[in-house]
Amino acid sequence: METIIRSYISEAIDALYMKSIDSEQVQVQETRREFEGDFTVIVFPLTRYSSRSPEVTGDEIGKYLVSARPEIISYNVIKGFLNLVISPGIWTNMFREMAGNVNFGTRTVSGDSPTVVIEYSSPNTNKPLHLGHIRNNLLGFSLCRIAEANGLKVVKTNIVNDRGIHICKSMVAWLKYGNGETPSSSGLKGDHLVGKYYVLFEKEFRNERERLISEGVDPESVVEVAPLMREAREMLRRWEAGDSETVSIWKMMNEWVYEGFDETYSRLGVSFDKIYYESDTYLRGREIVREALSEGLVYSESDGSVWADLSDDGLDRKILLRADGTAVYITQDLGTAVIRHEEYQFDRSVYVVGNEQNYHFQVLKALLARLGYPWASELYHFSYGMVELPEGKMKSREGKVVDADQLIDEMIATAETMSEELGKLDAIEESRRREIYRKIGLAALKYFILKVDPKKNMTFNPEESVDFNGNTGPFIQYTFARIMSVLRRADGIGYRDGSQSLSEQFVPNGKELSIIKAVRRFSHIIASASDEMNPSLIANYVYDLAKEFNQFYHDFSILNESEPERRFFRIELSRLVSGVIGKGMWLLGIEMPERM
């Protein structure tokens, strides 16, 4: 409709002022709720063609459109804004089109669609996933679905940071204190078991540090001389040298972690098309650095370490290889980026990583450009804010984290408690109730996180998220289940499809028009969410639509409407709304129960 109005404005400019204007230059937006109208034309830029004030120009164009175009039934001008009211028949036709389009709101992937690689999760194998990882995974997975809904070819990727000093710390602690403990012998998930030894390492290191300082060691030198840290660094050196015993322990402990991760990913409902491992990609990164050194693009210090000077890019020096030849984090990122481009020839590569790594990705882009990779400019850091609980910040090294598995369990348990208090599922058999509790608990978690602008830091409040009123996942699920109940009853008593049986004279009432207008925005919201990489636009749109429908449901009868044509229309309007709500929540990775 915006495109049509732009063409009408172009026509009016030509007819009134005998001047031509490219319709694409006309600015049209939906009228704000506090004003009368459906679409608003910004008049200020048009005064160059009329040589009149914005108010006079808007009035002249409005009069012309009402007289020349029956679709425009009235107008008003407020300062430099022309508000247009569209004929209800146009909205009814839009409803027919939307109701008859099973792919409404989305675009399909075609052969020439751009390819975007989206990396998310990126866990370390020294600890289980926690609340911060949950926000990362939910954002990344939702971004993938939103991009696909906008016709992009999407490759969902994960890079597992399975090498380096962090896993060596867990390995050292397990060898010193583990007595051969395994997931089977302990009953712990593998990632939880390995995380237990990482925390134990840090605890023992703090004790060592305090002892050494009390003995007169310079606090700045403790990390270099502490026996535990020296053992961890030596283990890393042996691993990179390919020592068979070290590699064997590393493989065993990482397999424990992989199995634990897979279970958590499955519970969260996220997946990947390709998983990379730092233990593989750092080798390519090291080759790239050594080749760059031979070409004089980077340099080595007297101790043998390799550096890049990025001061010309407004950045600092960056170490690429340590003096002992071991790789640093940026090295594997170089290798991973190059391998990905070779495999997928991506048009864009997105890294879903917290905002504490902003500088790291500036360095990565500058470094790839320095090394001659023209696609470096297509790397994009999706920088999101931190997530905390009301009680404060998490600390992985001290074991003070919100474990992902534990949080999921608690969310499902809370959903069960609140649902039982409402008593709406009493008549449903237990196995189905359990599945509904799971869907409600995860919806509460996912929606609460995704409704917040990703760029912002946020505090996750579990109790507030599982609320059947307000801007929450369970509220939207309850609205969806209510609509599905209406549709089941309609189908059960044989109501036919009303979207195909509306007469030309049928006019929706004001509330029905509001819902049609709200539904129409869906495709625009999906496009904006993709362009801005912001799932919260979809989350809050779905909430607004659910709230709008709930008000309609309370104010008007659907199945008991006495006028047959309007009854059929309301049934099909309900069906359309349920489809949009379901699809919107699917884009957020949220499952919708049909009964609650």
pLDDT tens-place string over residues 307-340: 999 999 999 999 999 888 888 899 999 999 999 9
For 269-298, write each residue's pLDDT tens digit. 999 999 999 999 999 999 999 999 999 999
Average pLDDT over residues 200-227: 94
Residue 498 confidence (pLDDT): 46
Residue 344 has pLDDT above 60, yes or no: yes
CB atoms within 10 A of CB 359: 12
For 498-553, write each residue's pLDDT tens digit. 445 678 889 999 999 999 999 999 999 999 999 999 999 999 999 999 999 999 99
Q: For every residue of 417-455, which 3-state class applies, written as one string?
A: HHHHHHCCCCCCCHHHHHHHHHHHHHHHHHHHHHCCCCC
Residue 399 confidence (pLDDT): 46
For 249-266, write each residue's pLDDT tens digit. 999 999 999 999 999 999
Residue 587 confidence (pLDDT): 98
DSSP 483-545: HHHHHHHHHHTT---STTS--TT----HHHHHHHHHHHTHHHHHHHHHHHT-THHHHHHHHHH
- Which class in CATH covers the domain with range 120-398? alpha beta
Q: How confident is the model at residue 396 (pLDDT cuts 50, 70, 90)?
A: very low
Q: Where are the domains of the chain?
A: 2-86, 120-398, 404-587
pLDDT above 70: percentage of residues in the chain: 97
Look up the CATH architecture of domain 404-587. Orthogonal Bundle (1.10)
Average pLDDT taken over every residue of the chain: 93
Residue 397 confidence (pLDDT): 45
Residue 469 has pLDDT above 90, yes or no: no
Distance from first CA to last CA of the chain, Å, rounded?
Answer: 37
Homologous superfamily of 2-86? Arginyl tRNA synthetase N-terminal domain (3.30.1360.70)
C-alpha to C-alpha distance for 226 and 11, rounded to whole angstroms: 80
Q: Is the dihedral of CA 499, 501, 507, 510 positive or negative?
A: negative
Is-contact 107 150, C-beta < 8 A?
Answer: yes
Is-above-0.85 flag for pTM? yes
Residue 269 confidence (pLDDT): 97
